[in-house]
Structure 1
């Protein structure tokens, strides 16, 4: 079972597929630090470090069973203009071109949920029709990473095409729909950091936005949020590293300060005692990267690679379901039962 990974980044998607038994034959990535990171954990892959638009994929026909990849999300993200195919950064047509040239048994495209909602939904329908015209049965679903063992709140859209019946998406393994409890940030983090400390300070915000929960709204500077260790972490973002990095409150200041503000107290000034930003290593663990992965480039590039990645454990769940259905020919009901049995082991 062989894959080619387009827009591979640091390799979260490929690592998940490898854990499910797939071999990464080739990968395409333009960003140099990401290329170096990917090469460090997948040295046998043919790593094509160039613009995907200049790659001829026809040579991989018969050599690759599954095309996987996550095209840049900026054209579809709710944080942007959401111009979809009118955005020059839209690389979805390149993914379709690769599938057209390779003619694999299956493909898996990952992206932000914004591609499946609102104004972008019409474009997604066009994409699905184009892929169906190539002979695939195509389906789409937004999965919650925390329902598959990732200690982080993260929603990702998966577009899967196979030949024959519709793809059986994996069933949740954690939380209300699964057999195991949701993993929380406290399973990974503690008051003491691991990895190289992040020196970016946490300050009280001059203007606060109070919400019901002390872990919502805006009480502190930047986009980084205080982490409730009893819940999954907020989504790890690619712009982390500075004050957009989430932080750990080792002294319990956050709920106390929230209560103080709710009772009419005025915003404080200065640095918040006992608060520290996440390290690269902690961020990677919250994304379920193996602990021995070494991220290349400056610290900002390392945070970016981690924030852009598909959590390997979420990728594994999709890959394992694909392996069972397409390559082991298991019926959908058997896939769900076997998955449940695996989780209990």
Structure 2
């Protein structure tokens, strides 16, 4: 892979701390850009994937590291990144979600006002007794890490220079409050940031999938004002697709938007066509043999209707890749008018639809959930590039098959991340802690 020399960055030597790192989407992005990273992840299987991929990892609870071992983190880390769990904000339009959102805003204000950690923890514990989802507190961790950095003797009380956060669209209100606090009040030591936040569509950055993400990019004052990454590809417009091609169920071979007249393509602000599932999976690469024309029926509803299963052809982007990707039904063709159910997406294919490199070494259990929860690496390269002032990555930066770590490398990484070369230790999160609590149920609407 082609790496961008670090000296082109606004920072001489960027080094990323990736909170809630998952199987490595943002770390893979850093690898492509030539930027080192350290990920903190509590799920054992996601850590096994990271070790297999050769990514530096701590198998730990993000909150516990902040409380108990922040001083052991490399002092040269200057970029904070992460995507805290989002379940409590997926219902932001309902009573439980709105209450969680308002609670988080109040905690953000208390933290930037300098309320001691012990007091914040006491208040969070009290809120749990009254039914608050314990995951609500996790969205505060990036801010708490940012504050902790200014109180760290090992770092010389030096704040992080850059902060990059991403999550589901419902979290954008949290990021906006983060932005207001970081810009107007700043951290308790007086450090302020210039911040941008928005909801972005990943297909406009070359990811072969329609997926919206709420992002925040912050730079410490004095490092310039950050900008959102500029789109490189056109947005997918389903109505235009249907107008040109009809319903996707009709035929497997149809003209696509990419086959529009040349003069029409050139008139679209110089953006490349969005990438389709065929672009990602049609050509043999690494151990992937390539797929012929196909239709995909998703496992969940479309347009808010649970019973309406979304169907797309391979000439469209994938629907949002979630932990249900392994349940998507793939239909292949016998003739122009006959289809049959073919093999479902492999984890390698699911990862490629997320823009992971071919042959990424998915490991452990719940691999579909790992894929669905990950930051799309290509999208991550655009976020990091924008945050650090680097040029946008090449469109094919992640098409080269991934070379997994050797057994010796895995053992070394696991010794650092878990405390033993071949197993977890007492310092790793316990297996019974790996299943998160159930989401707060949505209140019933009154008729």
Say whether residues 1:251 and 2:336 are aligned partners: no
Structure 1 partner of 2:358 = 291
Aligned partners of 1:185 and 1:233 also within 8 Å = yes
Structure 2 partner of 1:113 = 169
| Distance (whole Å) between structure 2 residues aligned to residue 36 and residue 231 of structure 1 | 32
Structure 2 partner of 1:329 = none
* Bigger Rg, structure 1 or 2: 2
Structure 1 partner of 2:135 = 89
Q: 1:316 to 1:125 in 2, by over 3 A?
A: closer
Q: CA deviation at 1:55?
A: 0.9
Structure 2 partner of 1:269 = none
Structure 2 partner of 1:52 = 62
Q: CA deviation at 1:239?
A: 3.4
| Distance (whole Å) between structure 1 residues aligned to residue 202 and residue 40 of structure 2 | 25
Structure 1 partner of 2:281 = 189
Alignment of 1:130-149 (within 5 A): 130-132=181-183, 133-134=186-187, 135-149=192-206
CA RMSD of aligned residues (A): 3.5
Structure 2 partner of 1:233 = 318
Q: 1:236 to 1:55 in 2, by over 3 A?
A: same
Count of aligned residue pairs for this structure pair: 287
Q: CA deviation at 1:127?
A: 2.7
Q: CA deviation at 1:14?
A: 1.4
Structure 1 partner of 2:226 = 167
Query: In structure 2, the residue corresponding to 1:171 is in which secondary structure?
Result: coil
Structure 1 partner of 2:249 = none
Q: CA deviation at 1:163?
A: 1.6
Q: 1:23 to 1:30 in 2, by over 3 A?
A: same
Query: In structure 2, the residue corresponding to 1:248 is in which secondary structure?
Result: strand
Say whether residues 1:278 and 2:363 are aligned partners: no
Aligned partners of 1:179 and 1:344 also within 8 Å = no
| Distance (whole Å) between structure 2 residues aligned to residue 344 and residue 281 of structure 1 | 17
Query: In structure 2, the residue corresponding to 1:227 is in which secondary structure?
Result: strand
Could you tell me the TM-score, scaled by structure 2's length? Answer: 0.57
Alignment of 1:189-338 (within 5 A): 189=281, 194=288, 218=307, 225-241=310-326, 245-251=327-333, 273-298=340-365, 301-324=366-389
Structure 1 partner of 2:436 = none
Aligned partners of 1:194 and 1:279 also within 8 Å = no
| Distance (whole Å) between structure 2 residues aligned to residue 129 and residue 92 of structure 1 | 16
Say whether residues 1:151 and 2:208 are aligned partners: yes
Say whether residues 1:77 and 2:77 are aligned partners: no
Q: CA deviation at 1:191?
A: 12
Query: In structure 2, the residue corresponding to 1:305 is in which secondary structure?
Result: helix
Aligned partners of 1:61 and 1:104 also within 8 Å = no
- Per-residue CA deviations over 1:275-296 (Å, capped at 9, x if unaligned) read 4422211110101111131111
Q: 1:177 to 1:115 in 2, by over 3 A?
A: farther
| Distance (whole Å) between structure 1 residues aligned to residue 395 and residue 363 of structure 2 | 33
Q: Which runs of 5+ in 2 are unaligned?
A: 1-13, 105-131, 150-158, 235-267, 290-295, 398-447
Q: Which runs of 5+ in 1 are unaligned?
A: 196-201, 258-271, 326-337
Query: In structure 2, the residue corresponding to 1:142 is in which secondary structure?
Result: strand
- Which has the higher mean CA deviation after the structures are superposed, 79-88 or 172-181? 79-88
